[in-house]
Structures are given as C-alpha cells and as structure tokens.
A = this chain, B = another copy of it.
C-alpha cells in the first residue's frame, strides 16, 4: 500500500516527542534554541518514524530552495563528465542540483522550462542553443551561468575554455614535431567552432605558415569527419587539427582505410579529450578542457550571484591542456611507406 498511509510529517514527530511543531523544526534544521535533552529526544523520534523533511514545503515557506538548475545534453560525453565535478562543487557550497536533460527529442527550451518551475535559484547551462535574447530575459529573473559558449551579454556569466588557445596548442605541438602542411577540419555551426578555427589561423600565421593553411568543412559528428577526410585525401597534409574528438575519429577511419598510416603519414589532433579518445584502441592526441575547474567556477559564479557577492568579470576563460597520445609523431617519420599515395606534389 504505497500511497495508502500518509507519510510522516513534522507534526507527527512533534506530537510523538511531546513538543511543538516549531521546536521540532528548530531541531531538524539544527538551529539554535532547543535544549540538549529535547533535541536528542526529537531526533530519536524522527529517526524512529523515518521522518524525511519535505524539501518543497521547506522551500515554499523559506523562499530559498538552495537549488541550482542544470541543463545538459545527454549526447555530449563531455557534458556528462562535467556533472561529476558539478555535484561535488555544489555540495561543498551547500547547494543541491536539479538536472534537466536535453535529448534528441527534448530541446533546450523544454529543459529550461522545467527548471524554472522548480524555483531554482540559479541556472547552469551547458552549451545552450537558446538564443541570447531569451537567455538574457531569463537572467533578469535569476542568475544564469553559461558553460562552453561565449555569449556576450551583461547579465550572463560565462565560463569557458580558451578554445582559441587550445587550437594554438595543437598547432604548436605539430609544428614542434616538424610539420608544416597542417590542415584544420572545421566544426561548422557548432559552438566553439569559430574560436578553434581562429586559433588555428593565428598559430599558422605566427609560425609563418599562412600560405599552407587550409580549412576544410567538417562538423561535430563522425560522418562529418569522414567527409572531411575525403576532401583532404586528394592532397593530404602531414598533419591535421580537428574540431572535436568524434569528428577526428571519423576522419581517422577513412584515412586509414585509404592506406595512410597514423601517425606515420598523418598526425591527427582532436579536441575535448572525450572518454573514448582515451581508449587504447583510438589513443587520440587531443586538447583537454579543465573539467573540474570549469565545474567549480560555474558553481562559484552562480552562488556569488545568488548571494550578491560582487564578481569581478562576467567571463572566466580557462586554459586548455594538450594531451599527447598516439596519433601524432614527427613529420616525415614514415620510413617504409606502403599502399598509400606517395608524396603529393609540393606546391
């Protein structure tokens, strides 16, 4: 009879312990103003009756929910990794998290609407696709922290990785390995795509390789990577930086099937340090975002806004980190080349 018996309420506990509801409340939330003996008695009774405070009633009265709403996308492995850090950070700040997921059949807007009804005190959005105007509207009512999307708007806090720098790291790494013909596979209309492309361009210019810079249209999926690979194959570079890991995986596959060896004939750098890029089988050199700091900063921001603590800047830019694995090697390190196309004509 799950729904038969009423659940035990603070009134039950109070009655059983022979005190007023108010005092029971004081004891339950550890507030000062109750005698030691009484406190113990109330706690005992509560334990015995299996009392659980009703967080909604509590909120209703106190106005504070100590609840942070989080919108994340189940399809993005990176988002899921972030949740771990976020829970930890929220916990130490004394806040709880309510999650609302974006799925292939559930968009940003729906996810957001759900949270607004839950009376969160702030929102943390993972790479939201919602238009800035809409986000701004919401931020008039409660603090909004955006992760991994560089929206510029007073009223919105932004925590993101310096993607431009990330691409530069990738290029620097490849140049240090002796590569000169380095291409970039673009992320299309995905977030961060512009910054990553820009960082690639900057770095190529800095190294005096402007002439051999080449940007190929790609995307965020495996297919996009495969398509980009086919575009590259007619005149393959010796190295390529790819928008993200998934795209890089698609590229790797096509490139290998065409007989090119990685990293001997072609070095590949991904982006995001997605879980699967760590698989020995893939072993992708990639640019990692500092997930833990990102999570901690997001929570810190949100809480500061809620509690009115002044915050210096609207935007936090975190440094990326290059993770060198098995898909990059020195240029021209390909002793015995097989099947693959010989050196393409130099330009």
Do B308 and A280 touch (CB < 8 A)? no
A340: shortest Cβ distance to chain B, in Å? 6
Rounded to whole angstroms, the CA-CA distance of A91 and B113 in the bound complex is: 14
Chain B residue at minimal CB-CB distance from A259: B340
Rounded to whole angstroms, the CA-CA distance of A155 and B117 in the bound complex is: 32
Q: A87's contact among B106, B140, B222, B249, by CB below 8 Å, is which?
A: B106
Residues from chain B with Cβ under 8 Å of A3 in the complex: 121, 142, 306, 308
Do B59 and A56 touch (CB < 8 A)? yes
Do B99 and A280 touch (CB < 8 A)? no
B interface footprint on A307-347 (CB within 8 Å = 1, 0 otherwise): 01000000000000000000000000000000111000100
Is A189 at the interface (CB under 8 A from chain B)? no
Do B56 and A84 touch (CB < 8 A)? no
Is A305 at the interface (CB under 8 A from chain B)? yes
A262: shortest Cβ distance to chain B, in Å? 11
Do A253 and B226 touch (CB < 8 A)? no
Given contacts A7-B141, A59-B56, A345-B257, contact A98 B98 (CB under 8 A): yes
Do A281 and B80 touch (CB < 8 A)? no
Rounded to whole angstroms, the CA-CA distance of A77 and B275 in the bound complex is: 10
Chain B residue at minimal CB-CB distance from A100: B99
A281: shortest Cβ distance to chain B, in Å? 4
Residues from chain B with Cβ under 8 Å of A83 in the complex: 74, 101, 103
Do A106 and B81 touch (CB < 8 A)? no
Which residues of chain A from 224 to 266 have any CB-CB distance to chain B below 8 Å in the complex? Answer: 226, 249-250, 252-254, 257, 259
Q: Majority SS of interface residues in chain A?
A: mixed
Residues from chain B with Cβ under 8 Å of A60 in the complex: 54, 56-57, 60
Residues from chain B with Cβ under 8 Å of A84 in the complex: 74, 101, 103-106
Is A119 at the interface (CB under 8 A from chain B)? yes
Given contacts A100-B99, A281-B253, contact A119 B56 (CB under 8 A): yes
Is A47 at the interface (CB under 8 A from chain B)? no
Do B253 and A305 touch (CB < 8 A)? no
Chain A positions near chain B (C-beta within 8 angstroms)? 2-3, 7, 50, 52-57, 59-60, 65, 74, 77, 80-81, 83-84, 87-88, 91, 96, 98-101, 103-106, 114, 116-119, 121, 139-143, 222, 226, 249-250, 252-254, 257, 259, 276, 279-282, 305-306, 308, 339-341, 345
15 additional contacts, CB 8 Å, given A2-B142, A250-B280, A276-B279?
A3-B121, A3-B308, A50-B141, A52-B117, A54-B117, A54-B119, A56-B65, A80-B80, A84-B101, A84-B103, A84-B106, A87-B101, A87-B103, A96-B114, A249-B279
Chain A to chain B contacts (Cβ below 8 Å), 15 pairs: A2-B141, A50-B141, A55-B117, A55-B118, A55-B119, A56-B60, A56-B65, A56-B119, A74-B84, A84-B103, A96-B114, A252-B281, A253-B280, A253-B281, A254-B345
Closest 9 CB pairs of A and B: A56-B56, A99-B99, A84-B103, A253-B281, A55-B117, A253-B280, A276-B276, A74-B80, A257-B341
